[in-house]
Structure 1
């Protein structure tokens, strides 16, 4: 007598593998995971770069959210295999952990964080909407159980009752960070993001509330946290990449302003209109990927509006603004903005102060609101200790909040100013910042 295997337990007849430069292979055996990968919403991630505008500084940084999502899934898959021998791990949550890992970045938009600033979208909110909405992903997840999409969404937004599964995907030492540090390091060609992941996976232990680290693995975690610190300051905050983001930000801001003023575009910005009007459905959101955004930027080069044309051209052809270190002084920026206006240059599109900061490791003390969980070491006697209390290296960076600012400006426009007095004043201010 033949009986149908429940979908949650259904396996592929033969394991599928993806060749991967970070993990060598990504292994897929569950029918659910294979079906999720094939959905149009997940395939869209092939058209969303992992690092946004960073390719302007590191030419090979062209990898995608698709690559990264598979990598996070693979790390969590390996975690679940390692955890099987520990009684704290409940095997019934395995598929939930794998699906959540695979889909954790599903809602990222084109050029991600820059896009969100202009159009007030939130990729985490859209991840939830895609998982719970009328989508292919939702239909696949419901084949496990009617409530399974909600559970996956809860893991990703960190509200699920199983805190261990949440910490595997979202914590200060999680699969997400372990993949993107190594993957971004590989594709940018730097060595900063490399650390001994094999060792970390071997010393990870499941507990009721979180993933904890065996005490003997402390030095591997030190290496991981220092890798993260270096990647942020040497790669993610690279001023050239930030300069590309500045131009994209300003071009989108100008396009939105023109639309609101009734400007007639030569190429109607059909796919941008819901974002300009801030009335975006899930389908609208899914239609806009980086291929579409780049198409419009190419078209805007030929627009009649001089500012939009210039900003789009600068972004497409990498004619970036120059930059200087900046202390964020309101007086200095106000002076420059006034001088730009007098010179006939619109300061809201041609001078930009960009600030960025990072906190490599910290944890919330009792009573704090952010709920930032520490990394715990498990000693031989079973006692748990917060890692910075045991490591002098980690203690030295705990709670250290580093911040920097840059001022971006168009050097050639300044040099072309005909009024020598105004030009001289602008150059003097900029020289003082240098």
Structure 2
């Protein structure tokens, strides 16, 4: 069977699968699961086109990594075939540990275990199945490979992950401000002292990249309505957890029930292979099935929240620069209790508060370095003559309060 396939991608056109190992990994049930997890969770409630999946993103990131490595080879950077395949595998699998609805439910289903750790454990399992073929990919994914630039291409402030998701999310949401010149950025990357460096003539493309990222966060990822609908889903699943842990019999998928009935650490995932297998069977459909089952569970909270979510009667979200006071939150819960006919404890599942923050470029993070014509290597914030990069270093923090829009205040 010919495993050198071509996939037609809506963003880049044709994507080549370069060898049999990569084909087999793409075809593996672990990666195929990503077809059933939306890239942007519930963002399609705001931007109806945002129905693309983590699978789309994995293939797109692999394609951009291939383009990057080919470009570096053309510039004389030595990359052997093992490194080439390992880098493609590491970026292909970088999001394989995502929970259903991506970031929205990560801290509800597996609190305290980030998806990056679960991704690493899944890669280790694949490595066992393929007799050590992913050894080098795992080193790169975990930032442990001695040739540092490979690690940077997988996770840094200018990594392949971001180059794909900004363009892809912009394409599917229709938010044109997120579009970046990834092809030009890739052409202007090089390696100096074992690190990824941007040639000086690429600085304006980097400025556009950082600006696009900031705009996409506030227009898409942290959009008020997106926050509201994600908090609604989180409260729904939290209510399911509360009921199951207090002895209720809810007829969800067995795998979802197991995660809602207990709390597991990274060590639990390492020790119990059945736990990882159960996690790998979860996808968006398990959650939607549970939401629908909740309508007939006899629990008034699950019924009302489920109807709100399915009928798009969403939470209203208020944003401000300072934390909301306890009195305002308590007052909202009292109104929920009176109008939705629930007690004060149950009213807490209809009100959510917290903070969100974003900075397009973190000074304390892995710096984006620019190679000047003089040979000097400097931080992009120093190299740029535009003030907006300096402004983008500021961490913007906002506080939110959400409650059912149907309330009469």
TM-score normalized by the length of structure 2: 0.89
Select 2:258's aligned residue among 255, 269, 274.
274
Which residue, out of 126, 129, 132, partners 2:124?
A: 132
C-alpha displacement of 1:138: 4.3
Separation of aligned partners in 2, 1:168 and 1:48: 24
Deviation readout 1:198-232 (Å, 9 max, x if unpaired) = 21111111234321111111111111111111111
1:202 aligns with 2:191: no
SS at match of 1:18: strand
Question: Residue 192 of structure 1 aligns to a residue in which SS?
Answer: helix
Indicate yes or no: 2:226 matched with 1:246: no
Q: Distance in 2 between matches of 1:219 and 1:398?
A: 14
Deviation at 1:324, TM superposition (A): 2.1
Partner of 1:149: 134
The equivalent of 1:188 in structure 2 is 173
Separation in 1 of the partners of 2:173 and 2:390?
Answer: 28
Residue of structure 2 in register with 1:9 after alignment: none
| 1:343-384 deviation digits (Å, cap 9, x = unpaired) | 3453311211142110101222xxxxxxx2111111223221
Determine if the alignment matches structure 1 residue 373 to structure 2 residue 366: yes
Give the whole-Å Cα distance in 2 for the aligned partners of 1:342 and 1:201: 55
Aligned counterpart for 1:22 among listed residues 11, 27, 52 = 11
2:25 maps to what in 1?
36
* Alpha-carbon distance between aligned partners in 1 of 2:256 and 2:367, rounded to the nearest angstrom: 41
SS, match of residue 5 in structure 2: strand
TM norm structure 1: 0.85
Query: CA distance change for structure 1 residues 39 and 201 in 2, over 3 Å: closer, same or farther?
Result: same
1:4-59 Cα offsets, whole Å, 9 max, x none, are xxxxxxxx957421111211121112111111111010111100110011111111
Quick one: distance in 1 between partners of 2:309 and 2:195? 43
In structure 1, what is the equivalent of residue 356 of structure 2? 356
**Residue 389 of structure 1 contacts residue 395 of structure 1 at CA under 8 Å; is this kept in 2?**
no
Structure-1 residue corresponding to 2:272: none
Rg: which structure is higher? 1
Residue 110 (structure 1) aligns with: 100
The answer as to whether partners of 1:357 and 1:403 remain within 8 angstroms in 2 is: yes
**Alignment check: 8 A CA contact 1:360 1:397 kept:** no
Q: CA offset at residue 289 of structure 1? A: 0.7
Over 3 Å counting, the alpha-carbon distance change for 1:268 and 1:186 in structure 2 is closer
Ranges in structure 1 where 5+ consecutive residues have no aligned partner: 1-11, 365-371, 416-426, 428-434
Once the 2 structures are TM-superposed, how far is the Cα of residue 93 of structure 1 from its aligned partner? 1.4
Aligned residues: 389
Q: Match of 2:377?
A: 384
2:245 to 250, 260, 270: 260
Q: Counterpart of 1:347? A: 347
Deviation at 1:398, TM superposition (A): 4.3
CA 1:389–1:284: 2 relative to 1, 3 Å: same
Deviation at 1:340, TM superposition (A): 4.2
